[in-house]
Amino acid sequence: MSEVLVWNAMIGGIVFGMVYALIGCSLNVLAGVLRVINFAHGEFIIAGSFFAYALFTGLGLHPLLSLPICAVAFFVAGRGLYYLLVPRLARSDEPETSSFLLMFGVSLMLIAAMTWIFEADIRPLNFTFDPINVTLFTIENAYGEGRHGRVLIPTARIVALVINLFIIVGLTWYFYRTLPGKALRAATMNREAIQIVGINIHRLSSMAFGLATSLAGITGVLLALVIPSIDPNGGADIALIGFVVIVLGGLGHPVGALFAGIIFGFVEQFSNLMLPQAAAQMVGFIILVAVIFLKPSGLFGRSVLR
């Protein structure tokens, strides 16, 4: 096996792993605080990609400049969607099942809306950085005697990786060093107890929904840089990866989502490199099933009595 391909798989594992970690963090906020199974989370991410695509093609706005606009717009939309839909679930006999069905309906609505506006074709985000690729290093005799190989990484992936790192660090600081972040973590552990000390659970839950939706939109913009082709029907696959990440990392454990995302990214990249495509798709989910059987609280989570 070529050493260049191994290095490319390692770099791809880091880049995609950080994106998966961000998906897991945003899903973790919703599943932990609201006990809402957001089946539409992948569609929110795809909507973020199309948001950047529309601003770039319609207004010529740089994709990186669309990040703060997307974050604010999706946060406002997320809070509005919370007050419109989620409080009614509390009156249901089985709120988690009801939330699954409700968000599945939202998912179908978003797919239909994006297909109606942008059509069913895969849209490329025709934006490139200068230079297009960056040479990390050269490997001597990579392809035989006297033939060298270069380990390249697209500049867009470097930019996405750096932004992702800043967001992850910011989220970690927010969850562990600020009062609202600590309140969100406390709500993950015990929703009833934090209401006793005077925290407005509905306001906190709306903030959590807005934060998760905002992170989904940001992830969509970054995903459009990493994979510059946007499919309106690709949300289900993204949401599935997010669920795998939060199961691996542990519910309510933001740092666990970070490590779980990187683990899944490495597993995915090296499986694609070493195994046939059909077999490679199974490996990550085999790990998921093994974790559920051996450590249901996740690799980094702790068992909680409910």
What is the pLDDT, as a whole number, of residue 201? 81
Q: Are 191 and 36 in contact (CB under 8 A)?
A: no
What is the pLDDT, as a whole number, of residue 305? 38
Question: How many whole angstroms separate alpha carbon 126 and alpha carbon 229?
Answer: 9
SS3 of 174, please?
Answer: helix
Nearest to residue 258, comparing CAs of 302, 300, 286? 300
Residue 195 tokens read as: 């209401």
Q: Are 137 and 64 in contact (CB under 8 A)?
A: no
Question: Where is 230: in which H helix or E strand?
Answer: strand 229-230
Domain ranges of the chain: 3-240
* Rg from Cα positions in the chain: 20
Q: How far is CA 138 from the centre of its chain?
A: 32
- Could you tell me the maximum CA-CA distance found in the chain, to the nearest angstrom? 72
What is the pLDDT, as a whole number, of residue 144? 56
CB-CB neighbours of 282 under 10 Å: 12
pTM: 0.88
Distances (CA, A) of 172 to 22, 130, 152, 253, 258: 11, 32, 30, 10, 10
SS3 of 145, please?
Answer: coil
What is the pLDDT, as a whole number, of residue 220? 92
Q: Are 107 and 39 in contact (CB under 8 A)?
A: yes
Give 76-85 pLDDT, tens digit per residue: 999 998 888 8
Give Cβ neighbours of residue 57 (< 8 Å, ≥ 6 apart): none
Question: 138 forms bridges with which residues in the sheet?
Answer: 150
Give 27-49 pLDDT, tens digit per residue: 888 877 777 778 888 999 999 99
Question: How many whole angstroms separate alpha carbon 256 and alpha carbon 71?
Answer: 23
> Torsion angle of alpha carbons 35, 165, 257, 273, nearest 10°?
130
CB-CB neighbours of 127 under 10 Å: 16
Question: How many whole angstroms separate alpha carbon 103 and alpha carbon 212?
Answer: 14
What is the pLDDT, as a whole number, of residue 304? 43
Mean pLDDT, consecutive 10-residue segments, the chain of 306 residues?
A: 77 88 85 76 92 90 91 94 80 72 88 89 81 76 61 86 89 85 80 79 87 93 86 86 84 75 87 78 80 78 48
